[in-house]
Each structure stands twice: as C-alpha cells, then as structure tokens.
A and B are shown apart, each in its own frame.
Chain A
C-alpha cells in the first residue's frame, strides 16, 4: 500500500506533535526532521487544523500543537482526510472486470483492502507512539547486552 505525499506528511506531523504535546513545533521543525518540503507541510498542517487535529499558536515561539485525542484518533482517521480509503472498489471500472476472472481478481483485491482498512482503523496515534517507544527500549536493551 502506498500513501500519497500529503498523507505521509500529515501522519508525520500528527505523530510528531502528539509525541510532544506540551511543545509547539513549526512546520520547518517537522519538515527538516522528515526531509519533506516545509511549504507542502504548511498546507497539510492547515488541513489538519481545519479538521481540529492541530492548532496553531501565534507569537514568539509559536507553531503548531496537537489538539486531538491520541487514544481515539486512528491512522485511518488521518489518512481519510487526504485520501479516499473508505470506498470499496467499484465493480466494472477496469478492463476485464466484467469477466469471471476479473470478478475473482476483484474479490482478492477487496480482501486485501478490507484487511488494510481494518488494520489502519485499529491503530491509534497513542499506539503508534507507544510502538516507537517499545522499539527504542528494545534497541537500547540490545545495545546494553552487546
């Protein structure tokens, strides 16, 4: 599964801001960390702001901060702001779809899509942040053993 550039920017921004809820970060701070365009990210942040997931803080030291509920907000929620991931693939849109083999192929692709959607719906931002922390702790333990 590939995500569009704006979607990846949005996920990085949400994760970065939710991981430091007491800090305000600028678009440039986040963009530099992930090697993405700050202009592009600024537009994405505006979209996230309209969705109520981030809020901008004006003035010196201003920037963006997370405004959502990390234990409720899922990857799917963020992705769905930027991509049409909820719609089932309509039948009969591509060459061969009208054939029996085309329909069988559709069923397999539908199965993959269903699993992808269920996975994205089940992972909250909080779970993502915990996963990152667990990976960090595990790496530190492995380093200590070495």
Chain B
C-alpha cells in the first residue's frame, strides 16, 4: 500500500530540488489550502475564478513551485500597461509559500521565474502592492531588490 500523500512538505526543500511550472487545474486544491493556511481565510471560488482568468494566458502568469512532488508555493502576476501613465510592466499580486519550506529559496525561485516571464513578455520593470503591515511579504520583496517606486497607493472609505 503506498504511503499517504501529504499536501504539506515537512522539511525545507533544497533550492535546486524546486521546480517552478505553470499551474494546472489539479494544483488548485493545494493552492487553496496553502492560501487558507497563510491567510486564515478559505476562498475557493476566488481561486477557481483566478485560475480561469490567469492559467495559461498570454501576459498572465499563474506559477506553482513543486518540491518532491508537492506544491509548496505559488505566484501570480500579469503585464499591466498605462495605468495612470505607467508604461507596460509586470505586476505581482499574489504569492504564497508553505511555511514549512520558508527561507529555503522557494519564494526566490517563484519570483525569478515570473520575472523571466515578464522579461519574455517584453517588459523591464516589476511592481507589486502590499499592505503596509505585511512585513513578511514586504521583507521578501525587499530581499529580491524591490524598492519604493514612483507610484503611491491611495484610498478612501466609501460612505
């Protein structure tokens, strides 16, 4: 009888053993579970909709990292253009890594892969937007060389 399959990697995977590839529909349950564990909020409808809009589309990237046959992370982004005058650039708007493999290079591999996709799509800048208190992701993106850019996020309550 084969051993039970776990969706959680229990030991950090060496960076070289991580494979980054485009997400397929079968990855969604693991991605949804990983996001639920990281955010505390299950949102399967959102993820199915996201996969329909971002899976295998030109200029859109829904990538997963696989270590020892298990999905341990994901990153999603797209090429956006001319928002308030911004020339085409890569936008990363979702990133998740299983906390059991953090600090083993999985996030870096995902980020490098999506940046390569952006380069191939012809853009030379990558951007993201984060909550000001999201220290985990902020530190990660900083560690990849990202810095404050020329745009600023604004909002107001709609009374």
| B57-78 at interface with A (beta carbon < 8 Å) | none
* Chain A nearest CB, measured from B131 CB (Å): 9
The answer to whether the Cβ of A122 comes within 8 Å of any Cβ in the partner chain is: yes
Is there contact, CB below 8 Å, between B139 and A118? no
Provide the residues of chain B in CB contact with A38, threshold 8 Å.
Answer: none
Provide the residues of chain A in CB contact with B139, threshold 8 Å.
Answer: 74, 121-124, 127
Most buried by A among B132, B142, B145, B148: B142
Q: What count of chain A residues pass the 8 Å CB interface test?
A: 15
Complex alpha-carbon distance, A126 and B145, angstroms: 11
Complex alpha-carbon distance, A115 and B142, angstroms: 14
The answer to whether the Cβ of A71 comes within 8 Å of any Cβ in the partner chain is: yes
Is there contact, CB below 8 Å, between B143 and A114? no
The answer to whether the Cβ of A34 comes within 8 Å of any Cβ in the partner chain is: no
Complex alpha-carbon distance, A131 and B139, angstroms: 13
Provide the residues of chain B in CB contact with A74, threshold 8 Å.
Answer: 139
* B→A interface (CB under 8 Å): 103, 132-133, 135, 138-139, 142-143, 145, 148
Residue in contact with B138 in the complex, picked from A71, A114, A118, CB distance below 8 Å: A118
Provide the residues of chain A in CB contact with B142, threshold 8 Å.
Answer: 122-124, 127
| A102-129 at interface with B (beta carbon < 8 Å) | 114-115, 118-119, 121-124, 126-127
Residue of B nearest to A117 (CB): B132
Is there contact, CB below 8 Å, between A127 and B143? yes
* A→B interface (CB under 8 Å): 71, 74, 114-115, 118-119, 121-124, 126-127, 130-131, 134
- A130-B143, A134-B145 are known contacts. Are A118 and B103 too (CB-CB below 8 A)? no
Residue of A nearest to B138 (CB): A122
Most buried by B among A71, A118, A130: A118
* Chain A nearest CB, measured from B126 CB (Å): 15
Task: Known pairs A119-B148, A127-B139; list 18 more (Cβ under 8 Å).
Answer: A71-B103, A74-B139, A114-B132, A118-B132, A118-B133, A118-B135, A118-B138, A121-B135, A122-B135, A122-B138, A122-B139, A123-B142, A124-B139, A124-B143, A126-B143, A127-B143, A130-B145, A131-B145
User: What are 29 A-B interface contacts by the 8 Å CB criterion?
Assistant: A71-B103, A74-B139, A114-B132, A115-B132, A118-B132, A118-B133, A118-B135, A118-B138, A119-B148, A121-B135, A121-B138, A121-B139, A122-B135, A122-B138, A122-B139, A122-B142, A123-B139, A123-B142, A124-B139, A124-B142, A124-B143, A126-B143, A127-B139, A127-B142, A127-B143, A130-B143, A130-B145, A131-B145, A134-B145
Most buried by B among A74, A122, A130, A131: A122
Provide the residues of chain B in CB contact with A131, threshold 8 Å.
Answer: 145
* Chain B nearest CB, measured from A24 CB (Å): 27
Complex alpha-carbon distance, A19 and B132, angstroms: 28
Provide the residues of chain B in CB contact with A134, threshold 8 Å.
Answer: 145
